[in-house]
Amino acid sequence: MRALPVLLVIACSAAKPPPAPPGPPACDALPVLGKAEPTSLASDASGGLAIAGDFAGTMQAAAAGITSAGGTDVFVLRTNTDGSVRWLRRIGGPGTESASAVALFPNGDAVVVGAADGHCFAARLADADGRRLWTAQLPGDGESRCRAVSIDAKGEAWTTGYFSGLLSGNASKGMYDLFVVRFAGASGDAFFVRAIGGKGKELPRAIAALADGSALLGGQFGGEVDVTESDVDFGKGPVRSNGDYDGFLLKLQPDGKTAWVATFGDNGDDEINALLVGADGTVYASGHHQPAANYLGLNPHGVGNFTGIVLRYSRDGRGDWVRIFEGPSSTANHLAFDEKGRLWTAGVEHGLRLDDTVIEDAGRGDAYALAFDPNTGTPIGSRRWGSPAFDIARGVARIPGGIAVTGFTEGEMAVCGKPIGTAGERTAFVVWLRDL
């Protein structure tokens, strides 16, 4: 009986759980070597990423490498939750292929859209190994390009882009018309939804498929024609630009008819590049604005510089707030929510000011990410990555604990303590910020 307490102590000691394995670092970075230029970033629920872009020659991410078959090919890079590379795949032939956007299906498959030899294409790649499941290309006798993609509740890939000439039996009205098409998730079969255009160039740059079967589009219209010839009927009567390109937001009903349209612009180049929809249907958009001198007293500099913008609209198209960045030049081309509901945008800045937030420029333009309170538009935090050369962010996405950002540098910089880039060469990168 005297041994019993000892046995009990031994049993309790043996039940002690082993220490938990360390998780991925709070800040981590992956350099992508070679002549690669990322253009889009998407994340899955676990924080795995899909990065798409263009490359020439040979590119390498960790131990994975690919070589282009022609002048420029498309790459798609898939990473795991911890940032390790799952696979790296090439799309292309002897001609020229380029990627505009990537999205992820609920099962983790990736869909990439862009242009192949001057015609819109889409391709679906398997989550596990990047195997090509289908490739689709839109028929036409002119030029076309798919610019953005979003997956709807039925697993179909809504895509928007621009075209000239004939596309799927539709004739453009001017230089470039915008189009919307749905690719069947299982087969890649294309179903034409709508074409809209005037005499100038209409360039959609973002799309968001909504749960009720409707869709939001953003971009720019009325470009490269005299303002008197810039009218475009989005479905609610002709709208004229204020000079050069103006930005637009357009909501389409499930049958493709127009629910509402909103436009904005000054006498410069204005555009929407990213869309994000909140759980309550609130619409967030970002892009850039090219103001006249001292536009509304907010930007005391001359015509010729772009300034980033972030906008919030109600679900029925009513403007709630707009934030126009100050500083020499900036763009806000990407959007994402993090786990805490903060709204992040990312792009390039040459010195950025907004309220009490100041982001300096280390060289010829730095990559940045800027967080907002989505209710008020108040800036609440930022990150910057810069070298003495040109650096830009090309995508931002939600991950557990924070955000991931992709972009490229043409110089040398340290990211999360890791050296990225070589002076005079373009190096793509991915950065994970997991403790924001």
Using the predicted structure, report yes or no on whether residue 74 has a pLDDT greater than 80: yes
Using the predicted structure, report yes or no on whether residue 299 has a pLDDT greater than 50: no
Question: DSSP 3-state assignment of 413?
Answer: strand
Q: Is 15 exposed, middle or buried (0-12, 13-18, 19+ CB in 10 A)?
A: exposed
DSSP line for 364-391: S-EEEEEEE-TTT--EEEEEEE--SS-E
Q: What is the dihedral of CA 110, 115, 116, 117, to 10 degrees?
A: 180
Question: Mean of the per-residue pLDDT values for the chain?
Answer: 91
Using the predicted structure, report yes or no on whether residue 197 has a pLDDT greater than 90: yes
Among 86-90, 101-105, 423-427, the minimum mean pLDDT is found in 423-427
Q: Are strands 157-163 and 166-167 parallel, antiparallel or unpaired?
A: unpaired
What sign does the CA torsion over 79, 80, 84, 87 have? Answer: negative
Using the predicted structure, report yes or no on whether residue 300 has a pLDDT greater than 50: no
Phi first, then psi, for residue 197 (nearest 5°) are: -175, 165
Q: At 327, is the pLDDT very low, low, confident or very high (cuts 50, 70, 90)? A: confident
pLDDT value at residue 106: 97
pLDDT value at residue 306: 83
| CATH code linked to domain 25-433 | 2.120.10.30
Average pLDDT over residues 183-193: 96
Residue 361 contacts residue 370 (beta carbons within 8 Å)? no
pTM as predicted: 0.91
115-169 per-position pLDDT tens digit:
999 999 999 999 999 999 999 999 889 999 999 999 999 999 999 999 999 998 8
Q: Is 323 exposed, middle or buried (0-12, 13-18, 19+ CB in 10 A)?
A: buried
